[in-house]
Amino acid sequence: MQLRPVGPSQSLWDISTAWPVAIKDESYIAGKPTSGGSLITKDTIAETTTPINERVLAEGAIVHARTATPEFSCTGVTWSRTWGVTRNPWNLDKTPGGSSGGTAASLALGTCSLGTGSDIGGSIRIPASCCGVVGFKPSYGRNPDDTPFNLDFYCHTGPLARSVAYAILLQNIMCGPHPHDIASLRPKLTLPTEYEGIKGWRIALSMDLGSFELDEDVRRNTLAAADPFRSLGATVDEVEIGWGPEVLEAGITYLTHLFGGALSMELEEHGDQMTTYCRRFAEDSQSSTAQDFVHSLEVAGEAYIKLGPLLDRYDCLICPTNALPAVAADFDPSQDLLEINGTRVNAALGWVMTTPFNMMSRCPVVSVPSGFASNGVPTGLQIVAPTYRDEIAMEAAMAFESAAGRWYQNGQKPAGPFVCTGYCSQMISSHVFGSRS
C-alpha cells in the first residue's frame, strides 16, 4: 500500500486510503481484549479506551491487529508465556527489541502501515532500532496516557512507522491535552511535515553517553551517520557528555522502585503465572527504599545539569539507540548473562542507550535507522532535542532520512515473506479482534 503524506490542514486519514494501524497489546480499546502479554490478564476485556487509541479510532483507522509485548511491557525483548517468542524479521535468531517489539516487527515485515508504542525505559526506541524503523518518544506530557502511569515522568506513548513523515502524521493525531490526563500538555503541538533544512546547525555526537560499552558495528554505523548531517551543511562535533555509570544505575533503581513495585502487588496471588523476568523485577522492588528512589531523582537532576548546557550550545545531540544491535530472541534478562566486547553489562538495560532519556523525559527523542550490523540486524541513531522542542528532533530526523535514504527504497527487505509461512504467529504475535492466533 502506498501511503501519501498530507498537508498540515488535512486529517491523517481520508476515505480514499485505508490505514491499517497495529495497536500494542498493552493499551485499551473498550470491549476488546488486552492481555499485556500476561497470563494474569489474558482474559481482560477493557472497559475504557486509552486516549491515543481513542484518537486513532476517531480518525477512521483500521485497527487490524494487536501487537505482542513482553509481560506487562517490563523488558527490552519480546517474549511471554501468553504469545511465545517474537522474532526479528531481519534475523530470526534475534529479538525485535521490546517492549513494543511486535509493532516494530510488524512494520518491518510490512503487515501494518503505522503502529503504536509506549516507552518507559526505551520501549519505542529499542525495537525501532532493532527492526530498522522510526520510533518517537515525545516530550513528557505531549501525548496523553492512562492513569496512574501518566503521572510517571519516565512514561511516554508514541508512534512507530517506516518513515519520519508517517511517524509525524501519527504523532499529530495522538498528541494534545486530554480531559482525563492532568499531565497532558497545552496547547496541542502540530508538527510540520516539511522543514527548511539544517544548514548551519551545530550537532553534538556522543558515542557512549560516557559509560556504555559499544559494539563495533554500532560504533561504525554511528560514526558514518554523522556524514549525512555534514552533507546538509551542519557541523557535527564529538563531545564528552560527562555522565558515568551512575546514570543508568539510577534509571534502573527508579524503574525497579515504581514499575517493579506496581508488579509486586501480583506476586502473592499470581507469582506462579509470571514470566521469570517479570517475577524477578517484582521481587527486586521489594528491597527498594524511599531513599533509593530519592537518590535516583538526585542523579537525574545532576545528569541534566550536564546535558542542559550542552543542548544550549548545540541544536541537538545524536548517539546510538542500542549499544548492541540485538540480543537473542529468547534472551532472559533475569537469568542470562550479557557481555559486550568481553565486558559484563546489565542484562536488562546495559545493551540499550535509551533509559537515560526517560530520565531526561522532557527531551524529545526520535530513533532512526543508521545501517545494518554484520548479522543483518539494523542499528539505530537517537536524535535528542532540547526540552519540549519536538519539532527540532523531527526536523533533524527528516533531514537525516532525506540524505541517508531508507532501506525499503534500496531494494532491501527482511526475511519476512517466508516467516509468514511458519513463524508469523510467533513473529508478530498479534491477535485480531474477537479471536486469538
**What are the residue numbers of the active site?**
24, 99, 123
User: Cell 533475569, residue?
Assistant: 334
10 Å CB burial of residue 343 (0-12, 13-18, 19+) is exposed
The DSSP 8-state label assigned to residue 257 in this structure reads I
Residue 138 sits at the vertex; the CA angle it makes with 133 and 144, to the nearest 5 degrees, is 115
User: Any idea how long the chain is?
Assistant: 437
Cβ contact 106:100 at 8 Å: no
| Nearest of 398, 357, 388 to residue 143 by alpha carbon | 388
Name the helix (H) or strand (E) containing 162.
none
10 Å CB burial of residue 172 (0-12, 13-18, 19+) is buried
The DSSP 8-state label assigned to residue 190 in this structure reads P
First vs last C-alpha separation in the chain:
24
User: Under 8 Å CB-to-CB from 234, ≥6 apart: which residues?
Assistant: 198, 199, 200, 201, 202, 203, 315, 399
- Nearest-angstrom CA–CA distance, 301 and 215: 29
321 phi and psi, to 5 degrees?
-80, -55
Q: Report long-range pairs for 408-417 (Cβ below 8 Å, ≥24 apart).
A: 408/162, 414/88, 414/89, 414/90, 414/108, 414/109, 414/132, 415/89, 415/90, 415/91, 415/92, 416/89, 416/108, 416/109, 416/110
- Nearest-angstrom CA–CA distance, 44 and 51: 18
10 Å CB burial of residue 335 (0-12, 13-18, 19+) is exposed
* E strand spans, 127-193: 134-137, 156-161
Distance of CA 331 to the CA centre of its chain: 18
